[in-house]
Amino acid sequence: MSKVITSRKEDYNKWYNDLVLKGELADYSAVRGCMVIKPYGFGLWENMRDILDKKFKDTGHQNAYFPLFVPKSLFEAEEKNAEGFAKECAVVTHYRLKNNPEEAGKLMVDPEAKLEEELIVRPTSEAIIWNTYKDWIQSYRDLPLLINQWANVVRWEMRTRLFLRTAEFLWQEGHTAHATKEEAIQETKQMIDVYADFAENYMAMPVIKGVKSESERFAGAEDTYTIEALMQDGKALQAGTSHFLGQNFAKAFDVKFADKDNNMEYVWATSWGVSTRLIGGLIMTHSDDKGLVLPPRIAPIQVVIVPIFKGEEQKQELLQTLESLAKELKEKGIRVNIDADETRRPGWKFAQHEMKGVPIRLALGLRDLAQGKIELARRDEGTKELFAIDEVIKRIPNLLEEIQDNMFSKAKAFRDNHITKADTLEEMVKILDEKTGFVSAHWDGSAETEEEIQKQTKATIRCIPLNNIEEEGKCILTGKPSKQRVLFARAY
């Protein structure tokens, strides 16, 4: 765990930015609030995407693609949704540039080319998709409609942070239509389970599944299910959401179907998404002062091999062994990279691969080769050990799993240690200030109370956990009766 974690917020933010930049995941771009995802970072995203995509398909979904632009009239059809996103929409108003007559070599927006209707760059695709679904759904035979899209969206945020809150980000958004309310709710829950499974078993990031309070709910949803993770600085991160949309969008876009008895009914809807924000969560869950620590299951490179040599002859001698070793590992489905770059020295490479979070590093020099040994270093624990070369090949698949499990256990222990009960507001503030993390407290269920608590503590209700136990108590603010505790935290 990083020493900067306990330090000031600015230091923590600098630590985080350094991890992203030095870990070669992404860079700032020339466009305000946007980032360039570098090949290594994109490789990580691709791995995550592929696993999720398979899970979506395994649960019966198909991929499709819808337009980037949403005509304003469509966008405003579902009022609450439109209102919720209105403040952060990028809007296309013109379709042409022309030479500026007053300044040679410069372009200007052609005032003649004003669009009759403005186009909104999608902040989310419900509007354009439901406008399409209207034509796709006629009968109960067309249901359920289970579609996902991988896309970029734009939200013009006041303040941006690499991966966590960029003006443009990559995500997937699932949009489904169902004949019954029960089936739609079932779908909503199923997808939050898929997300939780992915977060915990692939990203090694423990999450709490729960339901959002009314004020934290997605604009236009009846219910929002969430997975909440805890970062090393004690702040919570909403890592994924799944929304039960009721019939709000069906009514707004007039999506009806004929049931078996030939009655026209509105369909029931869900939507769910996770974004490149997950990468931000991954970084802040596992990394240390040496750089990123990536879980083996999604790491772009799982094993990096560093030969230590002087001159071409020695290099070739080592490569003979290393290439066959790499080949064997690849046959076991392991992502291996031999870093035989002659222009970098071993120490530099060690530091570099640690910054990039590669789970296992193998180093081989002639000294080891003579004894038939190879050095193996674990990124998660920072330990080094010598193994016989043929033994290491057998050992690595299990070791990758061990590292995966170890990372999850460590993160989970930290998270579990940072769920603290509080019965008074003073207690809660003290915990939030000093210990940080989640505070489990009673709440009377009203939005006013939640708002007041937020004003006084800067913490919001992260979720009402799904596995909550009933417990009689009194609201931490108003003293009104409450049947369960909910989780508060300061959040990203």
Partner RNA sequence: CGGGAAGUGGCGCAGUCCGGUAGCGCAUCUGGUUUGGGACCAGGGGGCCGCAGGUUCGAAUCCUGUCUUCCCGACCA
DSSP string, 363-394: EEEHHHHHHTEEEEEETTT--EEEEEHHHHHH
Beta-bridge mates of residue 92: 119
- Answer yes or no whether residue 88 interacts with RNA by CB under 7 A: yes
Residue type, 78: E
- Answer yes or no whether residue 300 interacts with RNA by CB under 7 A: no
Which segments within 132-192 are labelled E, that is strand?
145-154, 168-178
- Answer yes or no whether residue 469 interacts with RNA by CB under 7 A: no
Instruction: Report, in Å, the least distance between residue 351 CB and RNA.
Output: 3
Instruction: Report, in Å, the least distance between residue 28 CB and RNA.
Output: 5
- Answer yes or no whether residue 243 interacts with RNA by CB under 7 A: no
Nearer to RNA, 187 or 228 (CB): 228
Binding to RNA (CB under 7 A) within 408-467 occurs at 454, 458
- How far, in Å, CA of 219 to CA of 283, rounded? 28
Which among 81-89, 259-267, 293-301, 430-438 is the span making contact with RNA, rule CB under 7 A?
81-89
Nearer to RNA, 147 or 363 (CB): 363
> Where would I find the H helices in 76-180?
79-86, 126-136
DSSP string, 256-273: EEE-TTS-EEE-EEEEEE
Among 176, 238, 248, 436, binds RNA (CB under 7 A): 238
- For the stretch 376-381, contacts whose Cβ atoms lie closer than 8 Å and that sit 24 or more positions apart, written own/partner, are 377/350, 378/403, 379/293, 379/294, 379/354, 379/403, 380/286, 380/293, 380/406, 380/407, 380/410, 381/406
Which among 83-91, 173-181, 435-443, 476-484 is the span making contact with RNA, rule CB under 7 A?
83-91
- Answer yes or no whether residue 352 interacts with RNA by CB under 7 A: yes
- Answer yes or no whether residue 241 interacts with RNA by CB under 7 A: yes
- Answer yes or no whether residue 9 interacts with RNA by CB under 7 A: yes
Among 38, 80, 134, 161, binds RNA (CB under 7 A): 161
Among 4, 127, 151, 167, binds RNA (CB under 7 A): 167
Integer CA distances (angstroms), 287 to 244, 359, 378, in order: 34, 12, 14
Instruction: Report, in Å, the least distance between residue 50 CB and RNA.
Output: 20
- How far, in Å, CA of 360 to CA of 358, rounded? 6
Instruction: Report, in Å, the least distance between residue 2 CB and RNA.
Output: 14
Q: Which residue has the tokens 């190879």?
A: 374
- Answer yes or no whether residue 394 interacts with RNA by CB under 7 A: no
- Answer yes or no whether residue 42 interacts with RNA by CB under 7 A: no
Beta-bridge mates of residue 37: 26
Nearer to RNA, 3 or 483 (CB): 3
Nearer to RNA, 19 or 146 (CB): 19
Residue 370's CB: how many other CB atoms inside 10 A?
Answer: 8
Which among 134-142, 253-261, 342-350, 438-446 is the span making contact with RNA, rule CB under 7 A?
342-350
- Answer yes or no whether residue 260 interacts with RNA by CB under 7 A: no
- Answer yes or no whether residue 26 interacts with RNA by CB under 7 A: no
Which string of b and e fits 147-161 if b means at least 16 CB within 10 Å? bbbebebbbbeeebb
Nearest to 478 by CA among 425, 422, 430: 425
- How far, in Å, CA of 290 to CA of 293, rounded? 9
Nearer to RNA, 353 or 485 (CB): 353
- Answer yes or no whether residue 165 interacts with RNA by CB under 7 A: yes
Cis peptide before 144 (omega within 30 of 0): yes
Judged by DSSP in three states, 487 sits in strand
Among 101, 111, 311, 333, binds RNA (CB under 7 A): 311
- Answer yes or no whether residue 384 interacts with RNA by CB under 7 A: yes
Helix H or strand E encompassing 22: helix 9-22
- Answer yes or no whether residue 18 interacts with RNA by CB under 7 A: no
Among 125, 131, 132, 160, binds RNA (CB under 7 A): 160
Among 366, 388, 413, 447, binds RNA (CB under 7 A): 366
Instruction: Report, in Å, the least distance between residue 371 CB and RNA.
Output: 9
Which segments within 50-167 are labelled E, that is strand?
62-63, 69-71, 91-94, 97-99, 107-109, 114-121, 145-154
Which among 26-34, 191-199, 395-403, 406-414 is the span making contact with RNA, rule CB under 7 A?
26-34
Nearer to RNA, 3 or 367 (CB): 367
- Answer yes or no whether residue 97 interacts with RNA by CB under 7 A: no
Q: Which residue has the tokens 């207690």?
A: 427
- How far, in Å, CA of 345 to CA of 241, rounded? 45
- Answer yes or no whether residue 232 interacts with RNA by CB under 7 A: no
Residues that bind RNA (CB under 7 A): 9-10, 13, 17, 22, 28, 32-33, 84, 87-88, 155, 157-161, 164-167, 169, 216, 218-219, 238, 241, 275-277, 290, 308-311, 342-343, 345-348, 350-352, 354-355, 363-369, 375, 377, 384, 454, 458, 491-492
